[in-house]
């Protein structure tokens, strides 16, 4: 009856390479509908999304600022996903790192920058590791779905942050829910004068390079890729899949903790509930669009940072809601996931 059938067949390399480009184009076509509903011209809106933020030094540097936490959360998600551990808890791990960084920056104001900053980096990493530990152990030893547990851990730490800011760290003068400021020595240096671009961007790039080396050039990376591709086959080859998955989960949490530390030391200099603009969740979009490849994730983070900066520009220029940027990002994730699924199938004639 039917002349064609759908068969499972991996897409060629050239097609997989084009997936991010096609996903971006399709996402902008789909979101054009929402732009029109908002009363704006789609071509004009996308000009402000993609071109206008790069037209001046200040806005171009702001793209890098917004990309910095996305580089870290995206590479954190990539590290875990590569090993088959689906870490949805980067947002909570980011806040864990921020709490540790603030505590160190407030508790030791006498320490010089060359001591306190490495200490905060280490503290932020370890705090992210500790926050990732419970769901990782539940997954490895009790087979409890990590998507659920890591997501719930995000909610738990947000309530804990609210407690800290409304009780232990509440500003006694203003009563505002905000922690004390960290010491001046605990601030990241500005890379460009009179801009918000800070040394945390360099830290994020270093982390991307390290993760690339770990995944692509070390025995651990080989084990992670094997476990993520086929856990049963990896066990048959003698790989300790639980240990590999646990290592990936903890390192992923630590990297996400560095994102929180960077926001404290480079942007806010204290802890607030709105420290993160959903950077942990956006990191999933970054990792997916980047094809779970560290270099692809770096480019993806820069692109999403451009979208985030452009959303503010288009809102100011055209009077449309700033949330159009969130719609673009969400659509991009759904389209990318759909294309990644469909790349494993093709239609052939019977």
Q: pLDDT by residue (tens digit) across 150-193?
A: 999 999 999 999 999 998 888 767 778 899 999 999 999 999 99
The mean pLDDT of the chain is 89
> Which backbone phi and psi does 86 adopt, to 5 degrees?
-95, 85
Which pLDDT score is estimated for 175?
74
Is the distance from CB of 264 to CB of 143 less than 8 angstroms? Answer: no
Cα–Cα distance measured from residue 28 to residue 252, given in angstroms and rounded to the nearest whole number = 31
Other beta carbons within 10 Å of 41: 12
Is the distance from CB of 285 to CB of 333 less than 8 angstroms? Answer: yes
Q: pLDDT by residue (tens digit) across 285-336?
A: 899 889 899 999 999 999 999 998 888 888 888 888 878 888 888 888 888 8
Q: Give how far the C-alpha of residue 246 lies from the chain's centroid of Cα atoms, to the nearest Å.
A: 20
Is the distance from CB of 185 to CB of 112 less than 8 angstroms? Answer: yes
Structure tokens at 252: 């992923």
Mean pLDDT score, 200-228: 96
Name 225's Cβ contacts closer than 8 Å, sequence gap at least 6: 82, 83, 215
Q: Kindly list the distances between the CA atom of residue 345 and the CA atoms of 18, 68, 97, 202, 339, in Å, as whole numbers in the listed order.
A: 16, 36, 41, 40, 10
Q: How many domains does the chain have?
A: 1
Is the distance from CB of 93 to CB of 75 less than 8 angstroms? Answer: no
DSSP H or E segment with residue 345: strand 345-349
Cα–Cα distance measured from residue 249 to residue 90, given in angstroms and rounded to the nearest whole number = 10
Nearest in space to 288 (alpha carbons), one of 349, 335, 254, 324: 335
The parent domain of residue 145 ranges over: 4-349
Say how many CA atoms lie within 13 Å of 292 toward its Cβ. Answer: 20
The CATH number of the domain where 322 resides is what? 1.10.3470
Handedness of CA 288, 242, 216, 345 (dihedral sign): negative
Helices 57-82 and 90-107: angle between axes, nearest 10 degrees: 120
């Amino acid at each position: 009856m039917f002349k064609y059938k759908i068969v499972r067949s991996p897409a060629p390399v050239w097609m997989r390479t084009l997936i991010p480009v096609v996903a971006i184009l399709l996402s902008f076509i789909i979101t054009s509908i929402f732009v029109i509903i908002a009363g704006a011209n789609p071509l004009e809106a996308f000009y402000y999304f993609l071109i206008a933020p790069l037209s001046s030094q200040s806005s171009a540097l702001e793209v890098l600022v917004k990309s910095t936490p996305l580089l870290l959360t995206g590479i954190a998600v990539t590290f875990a996903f590569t090993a088959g551990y689906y870490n949805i808890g980067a947002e909570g791990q980011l806040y864990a790192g921020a709490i540790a960084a603030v505590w160190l920056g407030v508790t030791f104001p006498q320490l010089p920058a060359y001591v306190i900053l490495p200490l905060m980096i280490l503290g932020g990493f370890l705090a992210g590791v500790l926050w990732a530990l419970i769901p990782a152990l539940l997954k490895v030893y009790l087979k409890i779905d990590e998507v659920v547990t890591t997501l719930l851990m995000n909610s738990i730490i947000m309530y804990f942050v609210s407690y800290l800011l409304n009780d232990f760290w509440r500003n006694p003068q203003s009563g505002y829910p905000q922690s004390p400021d960290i010491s001046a020595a605990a601030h990241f240096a500005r890379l460009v004068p009179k801009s918000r671009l800070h040394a945390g961007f360099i830290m994020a790039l270093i982390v991307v390079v390290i993760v690339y080396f770990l995944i692509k050039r070390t025995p651990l990376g080989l084990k992670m890729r094997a476990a993520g591709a086929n856990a049963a086959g990896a066990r048959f080859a003698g790989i300790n899949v639980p240990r590999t998955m646990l290592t990936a989960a903890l390192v992923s949490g630590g990297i996400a903790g560095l994102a929180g530390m960077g926001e404290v030391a480079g942007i806010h200099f204290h802890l607030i509930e709105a420290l993160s603009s959903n950077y942990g969740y956006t990191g999933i979009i970054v990792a997916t669009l980047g094809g779970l490849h560290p270099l692809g994730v770096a480019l993806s983070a820069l692109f999403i940072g451009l979208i985030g900066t452009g959303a503010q520009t288009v809102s100011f220029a055209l009077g449309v809601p700033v949330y159009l940027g969130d719609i673009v990002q969400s659509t991009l994730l759904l389209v990318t996931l759909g294309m990644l699924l469909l790349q494993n199938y093709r239609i052939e004639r019977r």
